[in-house]
């Protein structure tokens, strides 16, 4: 993984912005992210976002390509730093979960606090200790040290077609109560699900695994679960 980008704005806040843009700009990182969308994602005021994006664009080398009224994209330098932080975060989540026995609804906040500060040496030691895992506890791919990251054609369960078997590929890690409810229902990465009724409505009925009974799932929960076609999981 490339070394930390030097410059006057390489702070925790900058890392959070770069990671946020990365998470919102689509699997190919080609979708421009609006200031309002980024503000909502980060939980800050839109005016603050505009100021930071201008700073990121003015840095040398620029970390972001910001155009007023058109949104922002990461530059090559910004993408490198974002991938480094994402790798730190997801490795830390896996370490906290697998080695320190944190539950999967606890690891996100802990990793958020630690991701900015671990060295490349510690990053390498954690990865080696874990056997170079491919995903974090929530199913998100962990970028390789080179910066390469697996791209999957995921679809939100809330938008999945009725009657088509699917495999849970990842779940959102941003809502601890939702994760606890998914845990209770057995909705984890790798589990098979089939939508039986109610796709794209306020709630849906799904069958989990090989269970004979179906459960009712609110769209608020289904919208935090990503799936792939069952045949693609093999």
Q: How far is CA 61 from the centre of its chain?
A: 26
Q: Give the CA distances from residue 30 to residues 42, 74, 120, 154, 197, in Å, rounded to whole numbers and listed in that order.
A: 20, 9, 28, 16, 34
Residue 131 and residue 59 share a domain: yes
Domain boundary among 84, 119, 149: 149
Give the integer Cα–Cα distance in Å for 4 and 58: 18
The first and second tokens of residue 162, run together, are 């009725």
Contact 56, 13 (CB under 8 A): no
Residue 174 and residue 104 share a domain: no
Quote the Cα angle for 76-82-86, to 5°: 145
Give the integer Cα–Cα distance in Å for 113 and 68: 31
Domain extent for 180: 155-233
Give the domain CATH number at 29. Answer: 1.10.10.10
Mean pLDDT, to the nearest integer, of 35-63? 92
Contact 89, 19 (CB under 8 A): yes
Residue 42 and residue 137 share a domain: yes
Residue 128 and residue 101 share a domain: yes
pLDDT in the model for residue 232: 53
The first and second tokens of residue 217, run together, are 């799932």
135 by DSSP, 3-state: which?
A: strand
pLDDT in the model for residue 5: 40
Residues in the chain: 234
pLDDT, one tens digit per residue, over 68-127 is: 889 999 999 999 999 999 999 999 999 999 999 999 999 999 999 999 889 999 999 999
Query: How many structural domains does the chain have?
Result: 2
Does residue 212 have a pLDDT over 80? no
Does residue 2 have a pLDDT over 60? no
Give the integer Cα–Cα distance in Å for 207 and 110: 33
Residue 90 and residue 5 share a domain: yes
Residue 119 and residue 219 share a domain: no
Give the integer Cα–Cα distance in Å for 1 and 85: 10
- The closest of 33, 23, 46, 64 to 149, measured between CA atoms, is 23
Share the mean pLDDT of the chain: 89
Residue 188 and residue 141 share a domain: no
Does residue 7 have a pLDDT over 60? no
Domain boundary among 123, 149, 175: 149
Give the domain CATH number at 225. Answer: 2.30.30.90
Domain boundary among 149, 180, 214: 149
């Amino acid at each position: 993984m490339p070394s930390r980008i030097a410059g006057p704005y390489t702070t925790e806040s900058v890392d959070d912005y770069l990671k946020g843009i990365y998470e919102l700009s689509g699997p190919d990182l080609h979708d421009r992210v609006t200031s309002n969308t980024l503000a909502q994602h980060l939980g800050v005021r839109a005016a603050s976002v505009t100021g930071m994006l201008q700073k990121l664009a003015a840095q040398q080398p620029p970390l972001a390509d910001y155009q007023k009224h058109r949104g922002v994209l990461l530059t090559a330098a910004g993408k490198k730093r974002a991938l480094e932080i994402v790798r730190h975060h997801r490795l830390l989540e896996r370490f906290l979960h697998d080695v320190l026995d944190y539950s999967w609804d606890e690891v996100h906040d802990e990793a958020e606090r630690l991701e900015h500060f671990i060295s490349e040496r510690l990053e390498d030691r954690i990865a080696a200790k874990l056997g170079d895992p491919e995903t974090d506890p929530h199913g998100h791919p962990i970028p390789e040290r080179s910066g390469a990251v697996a791209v999957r054609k995921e679809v939100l369960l809330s938008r999945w077609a009725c009657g088509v078997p699917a495999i849970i590929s990842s779940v959102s890690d941003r809502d601890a109560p939702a994760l606890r409810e998914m845990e209770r229902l057995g909705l984890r990465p790798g589990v098979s699900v089939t939508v039986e009724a109610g796709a794209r409505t306020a709630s849906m009925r799904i069958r989990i695994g090989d269970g004979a009974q179906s459960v009712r799932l609110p769209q608020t929960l289904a919208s935090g679960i990503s799936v792939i076609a069952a045949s693609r999981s093999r």
